[in-house]
Homo-oligomer: A and B are copies of this chain.
Amino acid sequence: MSDSMKNRRSIRKYTAQDIPDTLLNELLEVAARASNTGNMQLYSVVVTRDKANKEKLSPLHFNQPMITGAPVVLTFCADANRFVKWAEQRKAEPGFDNMQTFIASTIDAMLFAQSFCDAAEEKGLGICYLGTTAYNADKIIEALSLPHLVVPIVTVTVGYPAEPLPEQVERLPLSAVVHQEAYVDYTPASIDAFYKEKENLEVNKQYVTINNKETLAQVFTDIRYTKKNNEYFSEVLMKVLKDQGFIKD
């Protein structure tokens, strides 16, 4: 197994070294070998290298410093537009303005994105995913001129990792996410067992203290992923899916 996968961690700070176009294209070419729905390739990626364009994107990702700090910013999009334009030009009648096509396109975009990341890390590059893309999809659509049937799903910043590398973060025990033959629902006892190590980590305990909370879970629900924000940004996303043509009113 490649060490780059075993040892991976998200990289949020990059050196000044640029990524040559030849390398970036080689990585994207390999990434495009990933599986996709019926070989329709229902995805696109927008490459941002221009400083002014990064500054335009930055607030749409809540000013996370990776956007302006990385040599390359990639916005991976679910894209049924290209396929539909081709079909219409070839006397075919596409029925791609629906939720299944949105999910298929999202799957295609993610397999393409993750293959890119696995390949990039193997080449010594560092990456960071920004999940903020789906939050501000409406504004990103405007910034990148995305047409009908195109929705941005994730953003990945890429560059050479600056030293020192961050610590690798913890994961739940494998048995917490793997079910044999059928899903075995969690019990109070299994939840306690699976989350024990995570909750006992010094860094997570500090996280609770700094945020003045009683439990680690409260840091997530009260601060990082609040019900209020989740619901607000869900409304934005549903409106985006309607505006971009994947859901009907």
Contact = CB atoms under 8 A, between A and B. Distances in A.
Interface in A92-111: 92-96, 98-101, 103-104, 106-107, 110-111
A178 B47 contact: yes
Contact of A40 (B99, B128, B194, B220): B220
Stoichiometry, as copies per complex, reads 2
A53 B103 CA distance: 26
Interface string A129-142: 10100110000000
Interface in A185-199: 185-186, 188, 191-192, 194-195
A169 interface: yes
A182 B144 contact: yes
Contact of A100 (B195, B215, B234): B234
Contacts of A218: 90-92
A183 B150 contact: yes
A158 to B, nearest CB: 13
- Which of A110, A174, A214 has the most C-beta atoms of chain B within 10 angstroms of its own C-beta? A110
